[in-house]
Every structure is written in C-alpha cells, then in structure tokens.
Structure 1
Amino acid sequence: MKRQFAVIGLGRFGGSVCCALIEQGMEVLAIDQDEARVNKYRDLVTHAVVADATDEQALKHLGIRNFEHVIIAIGDNIQASILTTLILDELGVEHITVKAQNDYHEKVLTKIGAERIVHPERDMGVRLAHHLLSKNVLDYLELSDKHSIIEIIASTKMSGKTLMKLDVRAKFGCNVMAIKRGREIIVSPQATQLIKEEDILIVIGADEDIKRFEHEMFDE
C-alpha cells in the first residue's frame, strides 16, 4: 500500500517536495490557494486542490487527518503557516513538517505541534558556503546545532594510507561511514581499507571535530 502525503503550498519548495515524493511512488495531495499553481501540478500528483489551509472545515473535508504526513511549505505568510500547523495538530495529524522562515518562526512551530522544521534557504546557503570554502567538500548536511555529515574528496595526504593509519576517529573524533569510489560504495569500511586519491569520504562528527579534520588533512 502506497504511503500518503499532503503538501500545502506549491511554491518552489513545495513543488519540489511533490515531485520527489511522486518519483518515489508515493501518493500526494497537493494544496494551494493559487489555482494556477494547483493546475501546474494537477497532472503530476495524485490529487491537487484549491483550498485555504487556514480553514479548518476545508481541511476536514479533504480528510487531511487520514494522511500519514503533511508538509507545510507555505512561503512568506508566517501567520498562515502557524495557523495551519495549529489546525493540523488539533486535527490529530501524526507527522507535520513545516518550512520555517526564521528562528523565531521555528520556536513557535515547535511549541504548537510541528514534528520537524526545515530551513531550505538557510540550509542551502550553509551547504554552498562549505563548498566554496573548501574545494574538497562536495556536500554538507547539518544533523543538529553541533553535528554534521560531509562528503569530501580524499586529499593527497590521505592517498595510499589505510583508515587505521589515518586514525581519523582517535585523532579527530570523526567517523568515516562510507567511501564512494566511482560507482562502488563501501559501507562501514574496515580499518584496513586503503584510501585512494579522489575517493569520496562520507564523514560524520561534531562540527568542531570536522573542522579540525579538514584543516589537518586538506590544507596543503
């Protein structure tokens, strides 16, 4: 049985979420007040409707409480985002993810029932900054305020050495979770695993530890 999602707000972020979920074979109800936006996704998603998400009766009529997960991707209207979150929580929606505009918005959303808060613009800015500051960093994912995952290209300093020799965990407090080598992915690599230049390492750790790891292993 396909999992059911509802996406409220069909701007760039909400539209991207709809496309990604459909590509994964999920059922998606797309909701927006703008008829033009709804029509844009009508042939893509399972159902697309014009509705005001701040209208509790409209959401009840759509059977929103029956959806496993609702994503609120409303753009700049913080008031509508907060009110919609509150209504969904009171209706008993189990999983609610909301796009936040700022930290204050996030604090309010957390208090009124949002399970997960996302900052797409901020997160993309952080990822871009890490990529610009280091030619080796391909991607960056913030796990919490203090921990992250990075994808980083192995440097000449690492080439020809094993993970045991590099001793990343003991020296820096980071863990190499996987290694990408061309089309091959080595998951949970052994200590005897030899690193080759241009390998892509997936590393997890505290932000300060990752910074030390980057500085020591990648600054020539």
Structure 2
Amino acid sequence: MSKEFVVIGLGRFGGSIVKELAEQGMEVMAIDKDHDKVNEYSSIASHAVAADSTDESVLKSLGIRNFDHVIVAIGDDIQSSILTTLMLKEIGVENVTVKAQNDYHEKVLKKIGANSVVHPERDMGKRIAHNIVSNNVLDYLELSDEHSIVEIVANHQLDGNSILKLDIRAKYGLNIVAIKRDREIIVSPQAEETIQQGDILIVIGADNDINRFEKKML
C-alpha cells in the first residue's frame, strides 16, 4: 500500500524528493508559490498546486491533514518555513519533516513540533569532505551530533586480517555492522570473518573514532 506525501517548496531539494517519491510509485502532492515551478512538476507529481503554504485555510482546503507525511522544503525564506510548519502541526498533520537553514532554525522548528529536521547542504558537505580526505570512504551518514555510520573500502592494510585480529572495537571503539563483498552482504559478521581487500565495511561509531581509523587507513 503506497503512502501519500506532500512536498512544499520545489527548489532543488524539494524537487528531487518529488521525483524520487514519484519514481517509487508514491502519491505526491507538490506545492509552491511559483507557478513556473508548479508547471515544471505537474507531469511528475500526482498533483501540483500553486499555493501559499502559510495560509491555514489553503492547507485545510487541500486536505493536507489526510496525507501520511509532509516535507517542508522551503529554501531561503525561514519565516515561511516556520509558519508553514506551525500551521501543519496546528491542523493535525502527524509527520512533518522540515529542511533547516541553520542550527537556530532547527531549534525553532523542533520547538513548534517538527517531527524531523534535516540539513541537506551541511550533511552533503560533510559527506563530500570525508570522501575528499580519504579515498577509502565511499559514503558518510551523520546519526547524531557525535556519531555516524560510514562505508569504508578495505585496503591492503586490512587484507587477510580477521575482525578479531584487527580488534577495531577495542582500538577505535567502532563496530563493523556489515560487510559488502561483491553481491554478498554479510550482516553482523563474526569475529573470525576475514576481511578482503576491496570489501566495503559498514562501520558505526563516534566521529572522533571514525576519523582516527580513517587516518590509520591512509
């Protein structure tokens, strides 16, 4: 059973979400004040509407309360982002995810009831920085302010060593939660598992510990 989504704000971030959800077969209503942007997504989204999301009566008339999840992807207009989020929670929308411009914006969004707050530019910047600094890091996902999960390509230094021998948990405080090897995925690998050069290690831990391990791999 497909879920129904609303995406408010059709900039690069919001537009990419609309496209991805539509490709996954989800029902998506796309909303923006800009008629040109709405026209651009009219053939992609299930419904595309030109509307002012800070107007409570407009939100109610669109039946947004009945959707499973609303994503507020408004760009630089922090005031509109906050007002829209406030209106959505007041009319009873259960799940609201909002794009934040900065930490102050995030604090306000959380205080008025946003269920989830994302920082796409900041998070992507961290991913790119990690990828640039270390050739071994394929992907980087922040779990909290101090913990992340990363995909690290095992190099020659790790080749032929078992997880037990490397003792990454004791030395670095990190856990290898899975190993990707060609088309195989080894979930919760045993201590006796031998790492091969080219394996993709999915590692979780504190950012400081991940950084220490990355430097050791250089």
Bin of the TM-score, shorter chain as denominator length: over 0.9
What does residue 179 of structure 2 align with?
Answer: 179
In the TM superposition, residue 192 of structure 1 has moved relative to its aligned partner by 1.4
Deviation at residue 19 of structure 1 after TM alignment: 1.1
Residue in structure 1 matched with residue 66 of structure 2 by the alignment: 66
Correspondence 1:145 to 2:120 = no
Matches for 1:11-160 after TM superposition, within 5 Å = 11-160=11-160
Once the two structures are TM-superposed, the CA of residue 183 in structure 1 deviates from its matched residue by 2.1
**CA drift at 1:153:** 0.7
Amino acid at match of 2:41: Y
Measure the CA separation in 1 of the matches of 2:196 and 2:23. 34
SS in 2 for 1:122: helix
Q: Tell me, what secondary structure is at the counterpart of 2:88? A: helix
String of CA shifts for 1:122-170, please: whole Å, max 9, x gaps: 1111111111111111111110001000111102111001111111112
TM-score using structure 1 length: 0.96
Identity %: 66
TM superposition shift of 1:2 = 1.6
Deviations 1:17-62 (A, max 9, x none): 1111112221111111111111111111111111110111000000
CA distance in 2, matches of 1:198, 1:63: 50
Tell me the distance in 2 between the aligned counterparts of 1:151 and 1:186: 14
Letter in 2 for 1:169: R
The aligned residue for residue 200 of structure 2 is 200
Matched residue type, 2:29: L
Runs of 4 or more consecutive aligned structure 1 residues displaced over 3 Å after TM superposition? none
Q: Tell me how far apart the structure 2 counterparts of residues 70 and 167 of structure 1 sit (CA, whole Å).
A: 44
Quote the Cα distance in structure 2 between the aligned partners of 1:64 and 1:74. Answer: 17
* Counterpart secondary structure, 2:128: helix
Q: Distance in 2 between matches of 1:17 and 1:183?
A: 28
TM-score, reference length from structure 2? 0.97
CA distance in 1, matches of 2:187, 2:23: 25
Matched, 1:215 2:215: yes
Instruction: Tell me which residue corresponds to 1:190.
Output: 190
- Provide the C-alpha distance between the structure 2 equivalents of 1:55 and 1:215, rounded to a whole number of angstroms: 51
36-45 vs 207-216, which deviates more? 207-216
Deviation at 1:215, TM superposition (A): 2.6
> Any idea what SS the aligned residue of 1:211 has?
helix
Q: Which runs of 5+ in 1 are unaligned?
A: none
One-letter amino acid of the counterpart of residue 25, structure 1: G
Moved more, 93-102 or 163-172: 163-172
One-letter code of the match for 1:42?
S
Give the secondary-structure state (helix, strand or coil) at the position aligned to 1:49.
Answer: strand
CA distance in 2, matches of 1:154, 1:131: 14
Provide the rounded CA distance (Å) in 2 between the counterparts of 1:170 and 1:122: 31
